[in-house]
Structure 1
Amino acid sequence: MTSISTYFDELNIPGQQRTTKFGFSEDKSFPLALKTKVTWSPTLDECILALRDLSKSGELFTQIRKHGGAVLIRGIPIKTADDYSRVAHAFGFDPHEEVGRPPIRTVLAPNVKTANEGPPELPIWPHNEYGWSTINPAWLTFSALKVPKSGGVTPIISSIGLANRLKTQLPEFYERLLKKGVRYLYRYGRENIVSTTGSSVFAAYGQNVKANDDEATIRKKIEDEDGSLSVTHVVPIIRKHTATGLTIWFGNLTSAYGRSRHHGATLPPYRGDDGSYHPPPEYGDGTIIANEDLEMALDIAEKMQVDVQWQVGDVVLLDNYAVMHSRRPWSGDRTVLAALWDQKGRIGDFPEGTRIIDPRGGEKLKPQTP
């Protein structure tokens, strides 16, 4: 069987962490970092064949799992969105269709979009992609086509490590999250706005909605498409990672709180300095989560971050259920593209989580009116 070392050398990058600190039994670097071998000057087609070979054999995914769910691959001659699309498809995943997308994204190549078109001065805090939804991608890939003069790094954080540390440092908070889940509120206006969560209702749910549809038609089309017009989502956040058997934190609690804090909106009525409404998430039953607990969770996550310092052509592959990501502000030109992918059976739930999301599995928690 072809090994990774046939094509790539392992790199050490600043800030790498050890997986034993996250609860893994094996001691590996997080993330795995690879660079095309010094003795190999591959073409794009050769890199694609190599990645396809390593993906089909399972060798790449075995190593990604052992290294905590993330890999940085450096040295691939990616120049365009189409180049990146071809590389990303080599991993062999099924493309993910976004439902309820908050950020604004533009399609540039097959299953490749801009990562987030929010303004560069606004950070994005640690989150799992679509961690607030029951419809989420299993894998994410990113690639950098332009690197800014300063800033713009993409920190990654172990969801396994965060769950492990939270259970140890804040056991009562952990148990409340396990039993109650989290309630997220997303507000979609009729127009896109300039923010990191600026998608309109048309972009989020309106695959079949037209701008001149009246309100009744919009509601009917969205209900037909999504089953509900509600933008309140009650989901578990303490979950199971089936590939490792370890417990994960899977959600957007830290990113939502970080955004609320950034805009000075952590207290009622949650209106920020930008004039927008930034309500922090609540427990699944509608009760308030203490700011002290939210602050601690965000602090733990940020102390675990490993910064991906982008170089042109870099590719990052993340197990969305095992790894969170965020974004730092930047100045200059930055182009980082994203692609979302499906793979069934990679996430599971404890009995408490099943009761939260599946009415047939027990009594579903009912959100209370705030």
Structure 2
Amino acid sequence: MTRTDGTAPSGRFNRTRRSVAVSGETLVRTAPLTGGTRAVLVTPTVPGLDAREWLASSGGALARLRDAHGAVLLRGFAPLGAAGLAELATGLDGGLRDYDNRSTPRRRVDGNVFTSTEYPADQTIPQHNEMSYTDAWPATLFLTCVVPAATGGETPVADGARVLARLPEDTRERFERHGVMYVRNFGHGMDLSWQEVFQTGDRAEVDAYCARHGIEAEWLGGERLRTRHVVQATLTARATGERVWFNQAHLFHVSSLPGHVERELRAEFAEDELPRNALYGDGTPLDPADLARVREAYAAEEIALPWEAGDVMIVDNEQFSHGRNPYSGDRSVLVAMA
């Protein structure tokens, strides 16, 4: 069951960046994001405070909060926009990464700041760690809400260590022993094209990328490409040393789709021809009972708070997963990956 909680008032913000000659420790208050989670809410004690100014004066406080709590929601600070989000992320982590080996449709807004995943508003995006279907994922996610949805549209998060602890030992053992194989078939006119995923139309560049990352690539004629990649199911989070659940098996598996869509795809495609699918790392089909347990564990740990305009959420991508709830009205959330 998704847990929800109230939100702190945000007040009005001065959009002009301000220099504040006060020590970083006195500029903010911290509190639990909601009961039963390590995630933390940070609000300013100085009206209109710019998060970049606090970052510069805080002596590493934001990095310590991210490492210790996994997810940090900044609320009540001056809105940042795309350029400001990039500055904050660069100030904390030293640089941003591009979105390579793509899985979802996004638009580039400014440099390496993107829109959040552009799926239809009536659909749920299940919990996932960003790019955990690869061998090279971003360490930190930075999200900011420009326009909150009229209803819904939360970006729920879940603690990966707690998700892992909820799984039965036999489920954990199967995934950890084999890893997860992600299979993608491009060229059917469904899902993203390989040109969009790899950001090139040069097949030699695709082959070189796949070789560097241990991805098996098979060209099948025309525009058809099949890739297989076996990577981790769990990992040890660098910041905490805790073992965490870290994969997208339940999301890539065809059963994550609405029932009628899954039935249509299975009627049209053989198992190895599905646009995307997940298997155990040895190539055997995933046990539906294991997938059900994973989804139940995520549902039990998921925490969702409504966005407010100007909010910034900083997520340690190894410690916490995230998703998106359905929504109505306009919604604009930007993301940068460090």
**When the two structures are superposed, what TM-score results if normalisation uses the length of structure 1?**
0.74
Among candidates 322, 331, 335, match of residue 334 of structure 1: 331
Cα distance in structure 2, aligned partners of 1:188 and 1:100: 13
What is the match of residue 42 of structure 1? 48
Cα distance in structure 2, aligned partners of 1:299 and 1:4: 40
Instruction: Work out whether 1:247 is the aligned partner of 2:243.
Output: yes
Instruction: Work out whether 1:129 is the aligned partner of 2:130.
Output: yes
Q: Secondary structure at the match of 2:185?
A: coil
CA gap of 1:81–1:259, structure 2 versus 1, over 3 A, is farther
Q: Give per-residue Cα distances to partners, 1:218-241, cap 9 Å, x unaligned.
A: 322321344353521111112111
What is the match of residue 312 of structure 1? 309
Cα distance in structure 1, aligned partners of 2:80 and 2:316: 24
Shift of the alpha carbon at 1:125?
Answer: 0.3
Shift of the alpha carbon at 1:84?
Answer: 2.6
Instruction: Work out whether 1:219 is the aligned partner of 2:203.
Output: yes
Identity across matched positions, percent: 25
CA gap of 1:271–1:263, structure 2 versus 1, over 3 A, is farther
Shift of the alpha carbon at 1:264?
Answer: 4.5
Shift of the alpha carbon at 1:188?
Answer: 3.2
How many residue pairs match? The answer is 301
- 5+ residue gaps in structure 1? 19-29, 210-217, 342-370
Q: Contact 2:146/2:310 (CA < 8 Å) preserved in 1?
A: yes
Cα distance in structure 1, aligned partners of 2:44 and 2:112: 25
What is the match of residue 297 of structure 1? 294
What is the match of residue 260 of structure 1? 256
Q: Secondary structure at the match of 1:143?
A: strand
CA gap of 1:186–1:93, structure 2 versus 1, over 3 A, is farther
Q: Contact 1:183/1:235 (CA < 8 Å) preserved in 2?
A: yes
Q: Give per-residue Cα distances to partners, 1:104-162, cap 9 Å, x unaligned.
A: 11111232110111211121101111111012111111000001110100110111111
Shift of the alpha carbon at 1:278?
Answer: 6.1
Cα distance in structure 1, aligned partners of 2:111 and 2:275: 33
Cα distance in structure 1, aligned partners of 2:255 and 2:311: 28
Q: Contact 1:164/1:247 (CA < 8 Å) preserved in 2?
A: no
Cα distance in structure 1, aligned partners of 2:294 and 2:63: 29
CA gap of 1:97–1:80, structure 2 versus 1, over 3 A, is closer
What is the match of residue 280 of structure 2? 283
**What root-mean-square deviation, in Å, do the aligned CA atoms of Structure 1 and Structure 2 show?**
2.6
Q: Secondary structure at the match of 1:231?
A: strand
- The code of the aligned residue for 1:253 comes to A
Q: Which has the higher contact order (CA 8 A, sep 6+)?
A: 2
Q: Secondary structure at the match of 2:93?
A: coil
- The code of the aligned residue for 2:47 comes to S
Cα distance in structure 2, aligned partners of 1:182 and 1:294: 12
What is the match of residue 9 of structure 1? 29
Equivalences for residues 17-36 of structure 1 within 5 A = 17-18=36-37, 30-36=38-44
Q: Secondary structure at the match of 1:186?
A: strand
What is the match of residue 60 of structure 1? 62
- The code of the aligned residue for 1:50 comes to W
CA gap of 1:340–1:155, structure 2 versus 1, over 3 A, is same
- The code of the aligned residue for 1:223 comes to D
CA gap of 1:92–1:65, structure 2 versus 1, over 3 A, is closer
Q: Contact 1:152/1:334 (CA < 8 Å) preserved in 2?
A: yes
Shift of the alpha carbon at 1:32?
Answer: 0.9
Cα distance in structure 2, aligned partners of 1:123 and 1:3: 42
Shift of the alpha carbon at 1:267?
Answer: 7.4
- The code of the aligned residue for 1:10 comes to T
- The code of the aligned residue for 2:244 comes to I
- 5+ residue gaps in structure 2? 1-21, 218-225
Cα distance in structure 2, aligned partners of 1:36 and 1:131: 33
- The code of the aligned residue for 2:79 comes to I
Among candidates 176, 179, 196, match of residue 174 of structure 2: 176
CA gap of 1:188–1:280, structure 2 versus 1, over 3 A, is closer
**When the two structures are superposed, what TM-score results if normalisation uses the length of structure 2?**
0.81
- The code of the aligned residue for 2:73 comes to L
